[in-house]
Amino acid sequence: QKEVEQNSGPLSVPEGAIASLNCTYSDRGSQSFFWYRQYSGKSPELIMSIYSNGDKEDGRFTAQLNKASQYVSLLIRDSQPSDSATYLCAPKGGSSNTGKLIFGQGTTLQVKP
Amino acid sequence: EPEVTQTPSHQVTQMGQEVILRCVPISNHLYFYWYRQILGQKVEFLVSFYNNEISEKSEIFDDQFSVERPDGSNFTLKIRSTKLEDSAMYFCASRSGGDRELFFGEGSRLTVL
């Protein structure tokens, strides 16, 4: 089983729609979760962090966490063409106290004008 | 806004040559990391560094790799004898502490011929 699983996509949505990105993880000890955005050829850029079960909203972005199901998601409302990128799910390694993040393969999002 | 800086942005080298990639983490950060991303693949953890020593390393980080913090600002990754499969984007990241996120540099693209 992969440590972090994401559907690689591409996920294609029209401009203005809601994009839903999903992630499952295997390490039950993970307590902190991060979503990064990566444009082609660029470095990962933090979008959201979430630490507690439930929803966390920040502007057009909502992260959802369910630790019992080992599931974390990211919703992007009113999707814009500039949101077209790869979205990386990154739990903090639960068994590690070094703060390292374990990245999923990423979901490529395409927002069509 | 503080940022992680990396040099060089791109390096081309011959197989078997030594390469040093340099990073200047954010000044008040305490935890430092190197990740790599082979083209089309996921971001992979290489090593974490805290309190002037390696705190964790992955299976990828074999004897050919080393890290050093030679002064109060720089954090370097050395690859002793490069192989073709070392061709990748190498990202340096830093973190302040606690459960805070990692901040990534722009990356150094290494091409081994």
Chain B residues within 8 angstroms (CB to CB) of chain A: 31, 33, 35, 41-45, 48, 50, 55-56, 91, 95, 99-107
Q: Which of B102, B105, B107 sits opposite A101 (nearest CB)?
A: B102
Query: Residue A98's pLDDT is what?
Result: 85
Closest CA of chain A from B56, distance in Å: 7
Low-confidence residues in chain A, pLDDT < 70 = 1, 94-96
**Confidence check: pLDDT of B98 > 80:** no
Residue B68 CB neighbours (<10 A): 13
Query: Residue A1's pLDDT is what?
Result: 66
Query: Residue B89's pLDDT is what?
Result: 98
- Rounded to the nearest 10°, the torsion over CA A3, A72, A23, B48 is -40
Closest CA of chain A from B100, distance in Å: 8
Q: pLDDT tens-digit profile of B22-76?
A: 999 999 899 999 999 999 999 999 999 999 999 999 999 999 999 999 887 899 9
Evaluate whether A108 touches A11 at the Cβ level (below 8 Å).
Answer: yes
Evaluate whether B102 touches B92 at the Cβ level (below 8 Å).
Answer: no
Query: Residue B99's pLDDT is what?
Result: 76
CA distance B75 to B54: 12
CA distance B113 to B110: 10
Judge: B99–A102 Cβ closer than 8 Å, yes or no.
no
CA distance A109 to B104: 21
